[in-house]
Every structure is written in structure tokens, then in C-alpha cells.
Structure 1
């Protein structure tokens, strides 16, 4: 573990506090954005919806996340930090407000605002880490940020038994999300505004990352982001539904499986981040995608607790290992002037994938069932792996991101 975390030991005191601050922010983010999926078996019953109809609601909550593209475009021109803090505040407030909604429509609106702010904050967060940390520590830094979000999600799972106390007790989990407001002063105190490159800066149109000469990098990333999101969002969103309402396990069992299998799988963040910094971003992403696909499909095609635990572990480990590698890769494939815009556009394709996956669920789950729907979406992971293989490796080229294709 010391070898895995060695890049952090080379950071300055200020850079370590940056990583610590992003850890606090990540916990708040993960906690706030996980309640909708974790409480789905209870909110669905409260609002009187079928599994397919609930998939439609969850898809609608993702639409607002496209606003992250505009937010990131603004950050490329006017700065990242203030926008980052503002989106964090909106995210926490909307998550807390969900605890007081009275119908499915209000739930959709509150969670839509939360998702929009959470997506924007996540995009700005990984871009800021890429710009605030040295190249050799970027992936592990992003891994810690993502691991913190996983911890926040785990805390949400830990509180899940509270939702079993009564038909409306799921609301308290959303209300607890307001504790995340503590991340605001932490971010203001220890996360600085990244320095802008010296010299004249050329301003780019918001759609610049999509066109030549950047298109060769952008579109493979867009395809893999969409397909990965379509699969993982659906299998994660309906995991509690599968275990509680389909297989009949108690919420306490879900906590045991999620916290042990998911937490152990969380080692993927550190191992994946270390390997991405030492072996390469591309190969770690591809292997992570493959492991996540096996685990995610297995969760819906097994029924015994040992196999369910293994599936949760593999799904978590693979996705977590791919996260820091993917984040570092996509940030390093674009120059500073368009980096946030490029990452935001990619986040837009991720959102499209989440909506697409849930839309497929809305159309297919009630007809062919959850297992077949997840298997169908899992096939797309093979394409995600293939298009990732077509991208260049950036690990050995820390200057890659500052070279534009016109000057490289």
C-alpha cells in the first residue's frame, strides 16, 4: 500500500491539503447522489410506480446534467473554483430538499437539480485535480477523490435499514444529505483556483473539442463513456431493487453485501490509480471495464449470497479501478484551453448513456426482466473496450495535454 500511495508523499504540503479537501468534498458528493438508487425499492412503492416506470423517472432526473457542459465552458473562460463551490452547494441543497417532496413529479425535479449540480461539480473537480497536481500524482489523486465518493455512497447504504422503519422513512436519508454543507468551507479554505497557462491564450468555441483535430480523441472517449454509463447506471440503480424486491433479502443483508464487497472493491481506486500512473491509463481502463462488466452482469444472474457478494466485489473493483485511469486519460488528451469543455462534453455523453440505459430499462424491464436487460446493456461494454484501445497512451507523456494538435 505504501508503494501505491508513494506519489502522495512527493506532494507539497499545500497539494496534500488539496487532496484532503477533495476527499471531504467527494464524501459529500457520494452521500448526496447515492440516496436515489439506494432507496429506490421504497420510493417506488411510495409513488406507486412499476420498475419500468421508475426507470423512466430516474432517466428524467439525468436530463439537467447536460447543463454541466455550459458550466464547464464558462469555467474555461472565467475560472473554476467559484463555480465548483456553487455547484456543490446546489447539489447538497437539492438532495436535502428531496426528503420533503410529496409526489413523483417533485421527486424528479429535486433529483434533476441535484444531478445537474453533481455532474457539473464532478467535471470541474477532476479538471481542477488535473491542473493542481503534478502528472505523476494525478491518477492517484483522482482515485482518492473517487474513493471518497464511494465512501459517501457506502454511508448511504449503511443508513438504508432506517428506510425499513416505515413507508415514509426513506425521506430521512435525503435530509441527512444536508450534512454535506460542511464541504463548502473546506473547499473554500483549501482548494485554490488553478493557475492559467502563461502567454497569450486562444479562445475556442464551446464545440471545439468535437471537431478536427481533437475529434480523433474525443469521439472514442464519447462512445466508451456512453456505453459504460448505460450499463453501470442501470445495474447500480436497480441493485437494491433486485436484492430486496426480486430476491427478498432484508435491507440489513444489502448493507452487509454492499459494505463488505463494495468497500473491498474500493481498493480498485488505489490500485487502479497506481497502475495508471505506472503502467498506463489505457490498459487499466480496458481491464477495469472488463471486470466491471463481469461483476455487473453476475449480480443479476446469481441468487446465492456468496455469488452475489463476488459479483458486487468485481463490479465495484472494476469500475473503481477504471475511474482514475479514465479521468487522467481524458484530461491529458486535451489542452488546458479546452480541457473543461472537452470533459464536460464527455460528461454529456455519460449523461446520455445514463438516460439511454434507463430508457432501455423503462422499455424492457417490465417485458424481459432485469437480468436480460442488464445482459443486453453489458454487451455494449465490449465496444467500450474496443474503442478505448484505439486511443493513444498519455502516461509517458506528461506534456501531451499542453500540446495542441496544430503544434505537437
Structure 2
């Protein structure tokens, strides 16, 4: 597999892995510290669900980064979002109170989403088509390792009650990688200055709109389920099942690591067999495993973590590749940002639904209802064209070669 990587493939993959690791570690802390921050901020699970929903509203401002990226280039907004994420986490560490926590984490959420969206576009536009989804799997593995590291460090910041803020401050260490990104990250070869049009309108209507809305609605359904399911996993083990912080962290890390093998398996499968079948399988396994986890108070829940994690993991590289391949260069970053915003909208709806139901129905029932919604969105994926091998630029030029209605496909030689 290594022989398939060109020098440029290795360069851009390495840079995006570095950016993705820092972004995933810093961005995961909101969920990783929830079991500590929620009692310290004197919030019930229902109240916490509402606060998490408000924080996710910040993701909508990531569209501004997307417009910037499509109008003036990918490089500068990625670097700016990288710095903003670390600054917002530092502010979270240095301030107190629910309002400050909510505000700065909303800023961090927007910046984290922008870094992720721009990293995916960089990989889509710079990496060889035959390994595009696989490299996105590698990028996803970096994010998974970063999240695992955050969970591994969490027990060290359990007591006293406000020590969880130190973990947010620790994420600022990621600034040491900024000079590397600033020096070696060049502008995407596929980018060219577009004709001035409304980038948002061009995504929502016309040919792009035919692909945007099925993806957006499916993303909303998945987000409505994954938002509460992921956010409350550690809190559920610690505060509902009375697991220790160490046991909870080690379980999530070990089982999640097994499931995260799906990032590479899913990436390779999406490059060989297509994006759509991998996405459908991932949605089914993710919803089923995620819901079953909340109904298993014993050791069997570990198996369901693996199933749910594997499903969501194989989904990530396939959807990341497809959402870049369906849209032309002139609005690719905006499309990705809008799709992320729609997924966040789903998470907000799911968390808002949880605010109304968790305290009365219980967490397992609430998560199960939302899992059914996610699974019901699978037919929307089947409405989309297959994009495996779409060519996004000519080697050595900045000329766009792929548009929604004229996707050029590279036929893998294997």
C-alpha cells in the first residue's frame, strides 16, 4: 500500500494527520470532561444536554471559514481555525461559570469543525484518487488516537472538582505544530479564484442541491443520534452505572480502539467497492451498536462499543470522500461546512430532544428512539451517485475537472 503513495500524497497526508491529531484532541475535551464538568457546573443530564446543544450552535459559524476557503484559498482559513481552537480552549481553562464555558466552547466547536472540513478538502484535492478514501481513514485514525489520549489522561484531572479545566489548557501544547503547518502547507493545487457568486446559494440549489439535500438530511439524522449517544457515553458509565473514571476511560479507549480499525478498513473498502455500500453498512452498525450499549449494564456493553465504533469508523472515510467528490472546487469547502452544520443541526435537535425526554424516559430509551431515526435515513444515501475514483484536478494544473454532473472516474488498476 505504501508504494501507491506519491511524494505529494505523503506530504499532504502527514500535514493533515498532524492538524487532525491536534484538532481531535482539543475538540474531544468537551465530551471527555463531561462527567466532571457537569457536576462541577451543577447541571443535570437534561440541563447538560441543553448546554451541549447551545455549544453546537457555534458550528454554524464554521460556514464563514468555508466561504473564506472557497473565495481566497484553503491554507489561510485552516491555519486561522487551528489557532482559534487552541485559543478558545485556553480561555475555557482560565475562566469559570456556565456562560463562559458555553461561549468559549462554541467558538472552539466552530474552529474544530473548520479545521476538519478544510483538512478533508485538502486530502480530496491533493491525494491520488485511488487512495483518497484510505488517506481519509488514516486521518481519522489520527483523530481516534487523539481522542483516546484525551480519555486516557482524563482520570488524572478528576479531582479537585475544577481540575478538568487543566485538560483544556493542556491542549494548547498543540501550538508547537503550528510552525510546521505554516511552513510546509501550500495552497491546494485544485483551488483557483472563482467567479464572484453566492457560494451558499450555489450549494443549496441547482445541480449541487440535488446532492446536497439527501446528504444533509442523512447527516442530520445521524447527528441527532450520535450527538447524545457519544456525549453521554462516559457520563453514563461513571454516574449511572457507578464505574470508576479509570475503568470507564480504559473501556472506552480499548473497545473504541478495536472499532477504530474500521477507519482503515472502511477507507480501503470505499476505494475498492465504492462509497455508498460502506456508508450504508456503517450507518446500520453505528445505530445498532450505539443503542445496544445503553441497554447492557454488564460486560456485554464492551462488545456493543466495538460494534458501534466500527460502524461509525467505516462511515467516516467514505462520507468524507463522497462529500468532497460531489461538489466542484468553487464551492467544495462551503458545501462541506454546510453539511457539517446540518449534521450539527441534527445533534442539536437530538440533544434538545434529550433535554425533554432523558429525565423522564431515561437515557437508554431516548438513545434508542434516535437510533431508529438514524437508521431510517439509510435510503437517502441510495439516492446519490457513486463517486469512487472521481478526479478533482489535472496533475500539475489548477483546472477543475470534476463537476456534479460530469464526474470523471479513475479506474483502479487492482
TM category, shorter: over 0.9
Partner of 2:403: 404
The answer as to whether partners of 1:204 and 1:337 remain within 8 angstroms in 2 is: no
Partner of 1:155: 149
1:336 matches 2:329? yes
1: distance between equivalents of 2:158 and 2:376?
40
The answer as to whether partners of 1:157 and 1:255 remain within 8 angstroms in 2 is: yes
Partner of 2:396: none
The answer as to whether partners of 2:129 and 2:389 remain within 8 angstroms in 1 is: no
Offset of residue 338 of structure 1: 1.5
1: distance between equivalents of 2:177 and 2:228?
29
1:211 matches 2:210? no
Partner of 1:389: 382
Q: Compared with structure 1, are the counterparts of its residues 135 and 204 closer, same or farther at alpha carbon in structure 2 (3 Å cutoff)?
A: farther
Moved more, 338-347 or 275-284: 338-347
Q: CA RMSD in A?
A: 1.8
Partner of residue 134 from structure 1, selected from 128, 132, 139: 128
2: distance between equivalents of 1:161 and 1:344?
34
Partner of 1:250: 244
Offset of residue 158 of structure 1: 0.1
Deviations along 1:282-339, one digit per CA (max 9) or x if unpaired, are: 110110111111111011111112x111111111111111000001011111111121
1:277 matches 2:271? yes
Offset of residue 257 of structure 1: 0.8
Structure 1 gap segments, 5+ residues each: 1-5
1: distance between equivalents of 2:59 and 2:310?
26
Partner of residue 108 from structure 2, selected from 107, 110, 114: 114
| SS of aligned partner of 2:206 | coil
The answer as to whether partners of 2:278 and 2:314 remain within 8 angstroms in 1 is: yes
2: distance between equivalents of 1:211 and 1:264?
41
The answer as to whether partners of 1:47 and 1:103 remain within 8 angstroms in 2 is: yes
Structure 2 gap segments, 5+ residues each: 394-399, 408-414
1:231 matches 2:230? no
The answer as to whether partners of 2:211 and 2:326 remain within 8 angstroms in 1 is: yes
Partner of 2:291: 297
1:313 matches 2:306? yes
Offset of residue 15 of structure 1: 2.4
Q: Compared with structure 1, are the counterparts of its residues 404 and 162 closer, same or farther at alpha carbon in structure 2 (3 Å cutoff)?
A: same
1: distance between equivalents of 2:102 and 2:390?
44
Offset of residue 399 of structure 1: 6.2
| SS of aligned partner of 2:161 | coil
Instruction: Count the aligned residue pairs.
Output: 400
Deviations along 1:32-82, one digit per CA (max 9) or x if unpaired, are: 111111111211111111100011111111112111112111211101101
Moved more, 100-109 or 271-280: 100-109
1:379 matches 2:379? no
2: distance between equivalents of 1:186 and 1:297?
41
Q: Compared with structure 1, are the counterparts of its residues 274 and 325 closer, same or farther at alpha carbon in structure 2 (3 Å cutoff)?
A: same
2: distance between equivalents of 1:21 and 1:407?
30
1:76 matches 2:70? yes
Deviations along 1:151-198, one digit per CA (max 9) or x if unpaired, are: 111011001111333212212211111111123122223322102467
1:17 matches 2:11? yes
2: distance between equivalents of 1:191 and 1:165?
40
| SS of aligned partner of 2:387 | coil
1:167 matches 2:166? no
| SS of aligned partner of 2:162 | coil
Offset of residue 256 of structure 1: 1.7
2: distance between equivalents of 1:142 and 1:406?
24
| SS of aligned partner of 2:294 | helix
Offset of residue 396 of structure 1: 4.8
